[in-house]
Chain A
Amino acid sequence: MPYTAEISRTNPTCILFLIDQSSSMEGPFGGQQGKKKSEGVADAINRVLQNLVLKCAKADGVRDYFHIGVIGYGDTVTPLLKNVSENKVLHPISAVATSPMRVEQRKRLVDDGAGGFTEQSYRFPIWFEPVAEGKTAMYGALELAKQVIGGFLLRFPKCFPPLIINLTDGQPSDANPMQIASEIRALSSTDGQVLLFNAHISEQETVPVSFPSDDNRLPDIYAKVLLRMSSVLPDKLRLAAEEEGFAVNPNSRGFMFNADLVALVRFLEIGTRVASHVR
């Protein structure tokens, strides 16, 4: 079970995001000054979705290499991306691409090719707004995730193993999530076990931690529990992380603390990746 299945239109994989929308997310985000945790998460998820769409976009449209779902949890557990479809949790990425809630006009500085920079306007899609209210039904969200991933595996039994990314400040209010997390990681396609990654965002202004193998640098018990819930990085993803400059070892886990989430999906390989250093 080597995590080598090709991700293609006929054999897509699935990426499911679980988003903590509880009231504690109203607190300040240690990772970015002046932002609330809920805003940090909304920004991260929008950028990750944008990156995933761009990975699949070609001149003739968006290729459905991924099925994407976003589940929010607060007092209740709710499938989001309602703009894409009211009823389903998972959506082909081509549908996600064409159905953001809105598209913002933003500006950025780009290389002008002559040694300077020039301002360029661009469109940034918004699928997800910050929400922070109620409790933290993380267990319930993981239960729904297990059900959704189970359905996907029946449909695509040979797929590259689905990836679940849970974004939270880490304090579940409904039940201990360790057991359900372990049940999720035990699900598998013919290519390997389902991957559960956790991204912990915190009020603490500490150094970001990416893909740790132990909890030495993690500041609180919630982060430590989330680390234990996270899958060990398969060799292929670990090597990709290493190529991107992360310090990893064979016990590194899919866990991030106050770190850039885009890195979590950058490794998913659908062909030649365009790295930042290229000319």
Chain B
Amino acid sequence: MTSQKPFRWSSFSQPKKGHSLAEYEDSAAADLSVCRFAIADGASESSYSGEWANKLTFGFIENSLLQAPNGWADWLPPLQKLWANSVPASPENISWFAEEKLHDGAFATFLGLEFTLLPNERTYQAIAVGDSCLFHVRDDKLVKAFPLQAASEFSSRPALLSSKPRSAGKTPMEKRLLANFLPGDIFYLMTDALACWFLTELESGKKPWLDLNDIRSLPTPEMFFETWVTTQRESAALKNDDITLLVIDALE
């Protein structure tokens, strides 16, 4: 990363234990040129949800949901079309259950983050559907937790975005955040299992970002992340689920 860029980022992922990388259904995307970052978590009970999570994160990088005049109504339908084009179209040669899952569509939680750098002000906006989370840390203190603030808020039934156009409830159950940031601040985006661990640690008086920063500072952080995830799962501190972490450092 060059020093002209206002941010530096790194991402980590681990599939659910007992599952292959091909079965990983989270997604993360980043584009420094537009200062946009996103993560999504495909719901395990739906099919082709990894593809849907990918459409959402890369869709956010390409077109800002936050700047779209009509919000979701502009932003979501093209991604739903992309998803539909990426899955089998004809039900003739597929099983009854594959057909039914295609009818149902795929589901995912989503979190998008966009930074704005003005001459006198640095702001960020975040938008979330479900329990993918953002944590904003400054000077070794948590400044914001978004959209969930407590470990007890996690459930197995988060709000989700559907890959199928649905008329009922036009607006997804979104949450938005607008806040300022300073150079040196760090943003941690994570899918639910890791976010739940993060909030649990915080609630017991710890600073969970220190563990993550330690991993990031190592020469082969991906390898250490995998080991760390395995250890946390074995001690039941981390639920067995797909794990995604995207860390963004705001630079001077």
Q: Is A92 an interface residue (CB 8 A)?
A: no
Q: Is B95 an interface residue (CB 8 A)?
A: yes
Contact indicator B160/A57 (Cβ below 8 Å): no
Q: Is B100 an interface residue (CB 8 A)?
A: yes
Q: Is A279 an interface residue (CB 8 A)?
A: yes
Query: Complex formed: what's the CA distance from A272 to B130 in Å?
Result: 11
Q: Is B205 an interface residue (CB 8 A)?
A: no
> Which one, B164-172, B181-189, B212-220, is touching chain A?
B164-172
Contact indicator B165/A274 (Cβ below 8 Å): no
Nearest CB in chain B: distance from A239 CB, A: 8
Contact indicator B100/A270 (Cβ below 8 Å): no
Contact with B along A2-17 (1 / 0, CB 8 A): 0000101110000000
Query: Complex formed: what's the CA distance from A57 to B44 in Å?
Result: 10
Query: Complex formed: what's the CA distance from A112 to B43 in Å?
Result: 23
Task: List A85-107 residues whose CB lies under 8 Å from chain B.
Answer: 97-98, 100, 103
Q: Is A278 an interface residue (CB 8 A)?
A: yes
Contact indicator A115/B167 (Cβ below 8 Å): yes
Of A50, A59, A243, which one neighbours B155 at CB under 8 angstroms? A243
Q: Is A207 an interface residue (CB 8 A)?
A: no
Contact indicator B45/A272 (Cβ below 8 Å): yes
Q: Is A54 an interface residue (CB 8 A)?
A: yes
Q: Contacts A57-B47, A275-B157, A279-B169 hold; do A125 and B96 have CB atoms under 8 A apart?
A: yes
Contact indicator B103/A113 (Cβ below 8 Å): no
Q: Is A183 an interface residue (CB 8 A)?
A: no
Query: Complex formed: what's the CA distance from A278 to B158 in Å?
Result: 9
Contact with A along B70-107 (1 / 0, CB 8 A): 00000000000000000100000001111111011001
Contact indicator A54/B100 (Cβ below 8 Å): yes
Q: Is A238 an interface residue (CB 8 A)?
A: no
Contact indicator B45/A123 (Cβ below 8 Å): no
Quick one: closest A residue to B239, CB to CB?
A6
Contact indicator A8/B18 (Cβ below 8 Å): yes
Task: List B132-170 residues whose CB lies under 8 Å from chain A.
Answer: 155-162, 164-169
Contact with A along B201-242 (1 / 0, CB 8 A): 000000000000000000000000000000000000000110
Task: List A38-76 residues whose CB lies under 8 Å from chain B.
Answer: 50, 53-55, 57-60, 62
Q: Is B24 an interface residue (CB 8 A)?
A: no
Task: List B11-50 residues whose CB lies under 8 Å from chain A.
Answer: 18, 23, 41, 43-48
Write out the residue numbers on chain B whose beta carbons fall within 8 Å of the beta carbon of A110.
103
Contact indicator B107/A270 (Cβ below 8 Å): no
For A, the interface residue count at a CB cutoff of 8 angstroms equals 41
Contact indicator B99/A123 (Cβ below 8 Å): yes
Contact indicator A111/B44 (Cβ below 8 Å): no
Contact indicator B18/A9 (Cβ below 8 Å): yes
Contact indicator A62/B158 (Cβ below 8 Å): no
Write out the residue numbers on chain B whose beta carbons fall within 8 Å of the beta carbon of A58.
23, 47, 101
Contact indicator B45/A273 (Cβ below 8 Å): yes
Q: Contacts A57-B47, A279-B169 hold; do A123 and B96 have CB atoms under 8 A apart?
A: yes
Write out the residue numbers on chain B whose beta carbons fall within 8 Å of the beta carbon of A116.
167
Nearest CB in chain B: distance from A238 CB, A: 13
Quick one: closest B residue to A114, CB to CB?
B167
Of A98, A115, A272, A279, which one neighbours B95 at CB under 8 angstroms? A98
Q: Contacts A8-B18, A58-B47, A240-B156 hold; do A113 and B166 have CB atoms under 8 A apart?
A: yes
Query: Complex formed: what's the CA distance from A50 to B100 in Å?
Result: 10
Contact indicator A273/B156 (Cβ below 8 Å): yes
Contact with B along A160-200 (1 / 0, CB 8 A): 00000000000000000000000000000000000000000
- Give the B-binding residues of A (Cβ under 8 A): 6, 8-10, 50, 53-55, 57-60, 62, 97-98, 100, 103, 110-116, 120, 122-125, 240, 243, 269-275, 277-279
6 contacts between A and B (CB under 8 A): A57-B100, A59-B101, A243-B155, A243-B157, A271-B43, A278-B107
